[in-house]
Structure 1
Amino acid sequence: MHFTKKLLISTMATAMLAGCTVPGSHLSVDDKTVVSTGDEQELSQQINVYPLTASKVNQFKSPRVYSQTNAALDAEIARYQYRIGPGDILNITIWDHPELTIPAGSYRSSTEAGNWVHADGSIFYPYIGSVKVGGKTVTEVRKEIAERLAAYIESPQVDVNVASFRSQKTYVTGEINKPGQQPITNVPLTLLDAINSAGGLAADADWRNVTLTRQGNEEILSLYALMQRGDLTQNRLLRPGDIVHVPRNDNQKVFVMGEVNDPKLLKIDRAGMSLTEALSNVGGINQLSADATGVFVIRSNNNSEQNSAKADIYQLDIQDASALVIGTEFELQPYDIVYVTAAPITRWNRVVSQLIPTISGFNELTEGVLRVRNWP
């Protein structure tokens, strides 16, 4: 037996020293430079845990969206007037004076025979010469032309309208069916109108985080609230140069891990996703290995200025399956991690399952040494 112990110790030492011969890859930081900021703090001290109970779950719900009118938008539309710009084509009619109305001939369209607004915002008109129309409404242009023609025509009856709107545009980009530019005309163009004119949202659109960029300032709007819930406060009257961008829903995802039947990444659909829905999409928890008291949602606070903690953890106890009703009230957010922890007996069994091969190997090695020693 003394010989056996020596042989066993020698074999173990040789295996430890010959670590490079052990199959499989390994990464060690022992021989590398570990960079420290000097103010490291235990992660456990930077995490808050909130139990999800029937009485507290409402505290963590997102504010509910209600249908409501937009009085400010209604007032803005009511006083809206189109202002002429370079590139527009004006149709100017002088009643009882057809030679001034369409100088090029009556067989041409208003767009072809109209008055093109030059880059300096002016047009040329017979008798009165150059007329500054850029930045003015058709009413203002009509009044000016009538006043100046009065020196040549008695009581001129003047009508002015825009035959072609070319100077002002807004842009709709991203996950919509027909992205591109849309003209600003004498008909007010709202965000909802622009999305509908662009063919509606594509299948991969993130309609909760639509951006409206105006003069370098970005505003995030929710088409979900506008189109699904009727919240008209999310609608906007578009102006020249506005950029409406509908992003992809690539970042609308959550991770479901741990003791579930089919751990995987899930995408949040347009209607959102609750904790119970996420568990259902992965086949529920593993009834044989999961700890039903440990259904966790881990949410990072990296972008939060109000919360100093690195992360918040929300814990749901579903030992009583009726607690899944609480999970339906808890809305998941992008990049949430749903983690179902293992039961204590499961963790113990895994430790034992790792020890058994080693113990069996020692036993086989010991039996082999004894057989060698007892060999006649």
Structure 2
Amino acid sequence: MKRLLSCALLGSSLFLGGCVLSPGSDMPYEKSGPPIDDLVDVQPITFGLVQAQNAARKEFISQQSLKEATQEMTSDTSDYNYRIGKGDILNIVVYDHPELTIPAGGERSSVETGNVVHSDGTIFYPYVGRIHVAGKNVADVRAQIASSLADYIAEPQVEVNIASFQSQKVYVSGQVSNPGQQPITNTPLTVLDAITSAGGLNENADWRHVVLTHKNGQEEIINVYDMLQNGQMSQNRLLNDGDVLHVPDVGSQKVYVLGEVLRPQDLPMGGHRFSLVDALSQSGGIDEVEAQASGIFVIRQGGPGDKMATVYQLDASNAASFVIGTEFELEPQDIVYVTTAPISRWNRVISQLLPTTNLTRSSVGSVNDYNDL
């Protein structure tokens, strides 16, 4: 009887131990498709690789600059001339004839005393009558008024300027400090001007995919990063009435740092470039106890031929290799992965087995205690 009870207790202990070793149910699955190793291209990060990448990057920038120099510059502002629109307020002065000029003073500004362009695009002026000014520049209006006054005044000297710009505006939205509308004035307004007037891009902005939507619905993608970092100013478009400039958030423009680092995280690359060492240092560095120094990888989508990804490996067993890592530039959506050292993997297996071992010892001890009784 005692032996039978002992066997039952021992069997139940082994059953419980087996549950610990094999948690969960048995889920059948199929292994299909080519091995993952066949879909990736592995390259060591060496001084030669870094030099080749830097040369390719400089060549690309040089080609873009050449293209920029030969194409028609749509952002050329040398011949910019503001056209008067409905709602603008004109300030008209006829020298030596104060009766034709309403003076502005301490109580009234030039905006309050100016001539408003009506909804039909006209203004009224003494001795001249109603004249159409919408679509004209101030030089045209000045000449027209002077010509009409010549019948009443000898050699009239006329000055026309815009006291308030009300007719034309652009809209800046998204990841800027002060989104809102901005007036178009007699000073050309470009993409960079509008962003600067809006307080600049904030830390969550995507510098590479700023969307410019024109009044006719046509869209352009503006790379502000290339303008500021690489001098590709052909993208600095001249803005027109009704344009909408939207700065999206950083979205997927990030670098992901995973594995044996102190702070696994994603790093936004909106307006920054990161080297491999930058990404590791901002993540607290590699875990010196758990990490395998020779297993620092950068996984990048795409590769030669039909490869799914390219894996770059930095062997930092010699600390001097980090010098190469400072020159290896990351791209958006790169994954930096630091593997675990073999001894750490063994320690984790042991730590998972220890609870099972303790349970088995406890069960055997219970059987011995029963036998003693």
Using structure 2 for the length normalisation, give the TM-score: 0.75
Deviates more, 1:260-269 or 1:186-195: 260-269
Q: Write out aligned runs for 1:278-289 (5 A).
A: 278-289=279-290
Following superposition, the deviation at residue 288 of structure 1 comes to 3.4
Aligned equivalent of 2:346: 348
- CA–CA separation in structure 2 for the residues paired with 1:180 and 1:298: 40
Structure 2 residue runs without a partner (length 5+): none
Matched, 1:85 2:85: yes
Retained in 1: the 8 A contact 2:205–2:270?
no
Aligned equivalent of 1:49: 42
Question: Per-residue CA shift, 1:102-152, capped at 9, x if unaligned?
Answer: 3x5676543223221112222233455432221122223334444555666
Retained in 2: the 8 A contact 1:73–1:237?
no
Aligned equivalent of 2:257: 256
Q: Number of residue pairs matched?
A: 357
Following superposition, the deviation at residue 88 of structure 1 comes to 0.6
- CA–CA separation in structure 2 for the residues paired with 1:288 and 1:75: 55
Q: Write out aligned runs for 1:9-24 (5 A).
A: 9-13=11-15
- CA–CA separation in structure 2 for the residues paired with 1:79 and 1:361: 86
Aligned equivalent of 1:76: 76
Residue among 203, 207, 218 paired with 2:220: 218
SS state at 2:292 partner: strand
- CA–CA separation in structure 2 for the residues paired with 1:153 and 1:257: 82
Following superposition, the deviation at residue 315 of structure 1 comes to 1.9
- CA–CA separation in structure 2 for the residues paired with 1:312 and 1:363: 49
- CA–CA separation in structure 1 for the residues paired with 2:34 and 2:129: 78
Retained in 1: the 8 A contact 2:204–2:270?
no
- CA 1:255/1:28 → structure 2, altered by over 3 Å: closer, same or farther? farther
Amino acid at match of 2:49: K
Percent pairwise identity: 48
Aligned equivalent of 1:162: 162
Matched, 1:141 2:141: yes
Following superposition, the deviation at residue 253 of structure 1 comes to 4.0
- CA 1:203/1:262 → structure 2, altered by over 3 Å: closer, same or farther? closer
Retained in 2: the 8 A contact 1:258–1:342?
yes
- CA 1:165/1:264 → structure 2, altered by over 3 Å: closer, same or farther? closer
| RMSD value, Cα | 4.2
Amino acid at match of 1:123: I
Question: Per-residue CA shift, 1:180-233, capped at 9, x if unaligned?
Answer: 3222111222333334434444455554554433333132222x4544565544
Following superposition, the deviation at residue 313 of structure 1 comes to 2.7
Structure in which a larger fraction of residues adopt helix: 2
Retained in 1: the 8 A contact 2:297–2:313?
yes
Retained in 2: the 8 A contact 1:212–1:221?
no
Aligned equivalent of 2:243: 242
Following superposition, the deviation at residue 266 of structure 1 comes to 4.0
Aligned equivalent of 1:339: 337
Aligned equivalent of 1:63: 57
Using structure 1 for the length normalisation, give the TM-score: 0.75
Structure 1 residue runs without a partner (length 5+): none
Retained in 1: the 8 A contact 2:207–2:270?
no
- CA–CA separation in structure 1 for the residues paired with 2:98 and 2:24: 89
